[in-house]
Structure 1
């Protein structure tokens, strides 16, 4: 479990120019990242708790994970969180989405990860995820499904904090085992100590991964101009990048 500074995270098969308000993010020091798992785009900040569950493929079960986490939080706080058929979690009443899910399965291993909005800035979240160019781009890239309503735990229980939510989930999982090792990791330190981790992080931060990984698309600009883009490059000119400052 972890939190991070303001960041928009897109799914593996998505187009950032469709999903993200790139100019707003640039102006407000909001980072952009692409993850290895599929699914839709999410906004993270320090009021959000990210949760990752790493298991074997045989043990992978998103509905079971979400029910376990929601039950633990509902018991601790004055909230009513309910998982839905899309493997999101919603605050009731109002079907307010407070958590989105993504997963990846490979070589018999699996991870299921999800967001948990505890104390969110909904205005910044909304602006970050509303691209002004989404209707000008034609693409087969996976498009996010917008939630009709978004909520966060502190709306319903002011006593809830990211740290309290984290400790509540840890405590619930500890009850499942005779012994349970809890470790807090200094990510910066681990990165400096491990060249393999450092290499992976550099790849994830690269333009080639964040923008160039986008499926090919067509941009319909002003004066009926049409631009074909493949691997983040304007088709027909292998040196000309499609603008990240649109």
Structure 2
């Protein structure tokens, strides 16, 4: 039985607590980050708070093995005096959307092999995709994730805005969104790229720009230029 104390009450902390509660070999306790005077002892103390709060929160913890869940914060940013590690799940977490942890990549980093095996066992209790990733690699993954997730979702939002403005159901675009995401599982993104920018279809590009507001035009021109340049 692995004992885990999860510090935080946000989306990541809550989803992890719920997932561990359904396993037979993990006993997890969730603690609000404001209640650090009474942190239960555990095999793994898992900090799931905002990036800016990790250093301060970790400095107040005396437990033997402390890890954080951030994609952009280095292992050495932990300020506890004991063993350190990282338990990063490369996935987007929303409050009311259930997470299938068997599909979530777990990116682990520790200071020694024993702790690595412990985190691997913890990850395998709810997941299947386990990777050993350094702090530098994790930073690269995190910024790449911003492009493929956060920025892409903003494009969905922009597309939805355009549809609403012209009274077109956004749901018509959903099969296209799914096909694009599935396509890059078998071919590279550059091979999957289609559209007027690839074809340099200037008339279509001009027609599109005429439909857009100034903010949307700026985004359209920037992305079109990047595609045209092969970047």
- Shorter-chain TM-score: what band? under 0.3
Structure showing greater Rg: 2
TM-score (norm 2): 0.27
Q: Answer 1 or 2: higher relative contact order, Cα 8 Å, separation at least 6.
A: 1
TM-score (norm 1): 0.26
In terms of fraction of residues, the more strand-rich structure is 1
